[in-house]
Amino acid sequence: MWCVQLVLTFLVAGCHARTTNIINGTDVNFPGKYPWQISLQKHNYHVCGGSVISDQLIVTAGHCVSGTKASDLTVVTGLHDKAGHYGKPVRYTICRIYQHELYNIGVGTFAQDIAIIKLDKKIQMNTFVQKIELDRDGTYDGNSSCVLSGWGYTLEADWEGGSGHTEASVLQETPTRIISNDECKGYMGEDAIYPGVVCVRTGTAGACMGDSGGPLQCRNSETEAYKLVGATSWGSRSCEINGPSMYTRIAYFIDWVDRTMADESQCDSGEDGDGDDYGDYEDACVDRFDDCESDSCGGVMAKFCCKTCQGGGDGGGGTEAGAVCKDKANNCDQLKGLCFLTDVKEKLCKCTCKRGR
């Protein structure tokens, strides 16, 4: 029997926060059930999900890679439990990141929230790792059988912490139902929802921080294979399950996906690769930001400033006279309109907010 504990992907708190793991989900009952599911990691720490769509390409959410260098990220395939005891986890380095050119520009909340990652080596396909076919037609609806999966938070909570900030050690899943965009607008507002989004809601379960980029997989009968309908994009900042979770609609972006997949730029040799040993998921206590300070240790930030918060670091220089002020988040230019939020003003984008909008 697979026992359950319930990961975090680093999401910026805003009026709506991006969501990344499963509230009221259950353990995936055997490794390889969703063999396209990957863990996108920064410094060996899970930050987002994603899906294998070819032997060298991963699709994820655009915000998962925003402002991040390919060299800072790795992809782990074949992962079931966070300790790596089950399945066949293999770590791959990244050659290139294709974030949509109009990411977060235009109509809708987090518009064009999609990216494709190209790995340095071809993926080892096996029982635990397979690609998923893409939904090309957008024909799945409320009558389809759909499932969310991910390693995100498992109880409702806000960014400041609380009982909801419990990490999943085993991949979680929950069934869900697609709702129409018109119904979704009733929850989230007319301007938030655009055709590139597919919304899901059951009222009993949903995505949360740590699930971002991961798959919404659907089929219309038990004899069909699942297809990738969406990539987790955003939702309520508290992961409140009465409202919908929003996913980037793959069918809406299928032309962009096809063009990106057709890019034949080579990474490394392009040959089959062994990847790297997954190793221990729980890596050393390190600072994952360059500018950690002791006042960063409240709530979830303690995870990303582990060395400083446990007294093992000097805090990265602070903002004394003559020092260069550095924001902790890497997308503060996009977030500067949210400086009225305490998390953004005092923790994530302190320098940008001090400089003014």
Q: Give the span between the Cα atoms of 21 and 151, in whole angstroms.
A: 5
Q: Is the pLDDT of residue 226 over 90?
A: yes
Joined tokens for residue 291:
């500018």
Provide mean pLDDT across the span 294-321.
Answer: 53
Place of tokens 């607008």: 185
Residue 294 has phi, psi (to 5 degrees) of -60, -25
Q: Is the pLDDT of residue 128 over 80?
A: yes
DSSP 320-340: -TTSPP--SSS-HHHHGGGTT
Select the more confidently predicted residue: 236 or 38: 38
pLDDT for the residue 350: 78
Joined tokens for residue 257:
């996906």
Q: Do residues 285 and 297 lie in contact, with contact meaning Cβ atoms separated by under 8 Å?
A: no
Q: Is the pLDDT of residue 328 over 80?
A: no
Q: Is the pLDDT of residue 13 over 50?
A: no
pLDDT for the residue 304: 57
Provide mean pLDDT across the span 215-229.
Answer: 96
Q: How confident is the prediction for the chain on average, in pLDDT?
A: 78
Provide mean pLDDT across the span 162-187.
Answer: 83
Which residues face 282 on adjacent strands?
A: none
Q: Is the pLDDT of residue 53 over 90?
A: yes
Q: Give the span between the Cα atoms of 171 and 267, in whole angstroms.
A: 30
Provide mean pLDDT across the span 155-166.
Answer: 49
Beta strand 172-176 pairing with 145-150 = antiparallel
Provide mean pLDDT across the span 132-144.
Answer: 96
Q: Is the pLDDT of residue 87 over 60?
A: yes
pLDDT for the residue 264: 77
pLDDT for the residue 168: 72
Which of 3-17, 41-55, 307-321 is least confident? 3-17
- The CATH architecture to which 21-277 belongs is Beta Barrel (2.40)
Select the more confidently predicted residue: 6 or 312: 312
Provide mean pLDDT across the span 169-189.
Answer: 93
Place of tokens 């597919």: 198
Q: Is the pLDDT of residue 298 over 80?
A: no
Q: Is the pLDDT of residue 35 over 90?
A: yes
Q: Give the span between the Cα atoms of 248 and 229, in whole angstroms.
A: 8
Q: Does residue 15 sit in helix, strand or coil? A: coil
Joined tokens for residue 25:
């989900």
Instruction: Give 129's DSSP letter.
Output: B
Least Cα distance to 162 among 234, 238, 235, 241 occurs for 238
Beta strand 227-234 pairing with 133-134 = parallel
Rounded-to-10 torsion of CA 140, 146, 149, 152: 90
The residues of the chain that CATH labels 2.40.10.10 are 21-277
Cα distances (Å, whole numbers) of residue 302 to 17, 151, 153, 328: 19, 19, 16, 13
Rounded-to-10 torsion of CA 160, 162, 164, 167: 80
Instruction: Give 158's DSSP letter.
Output: B
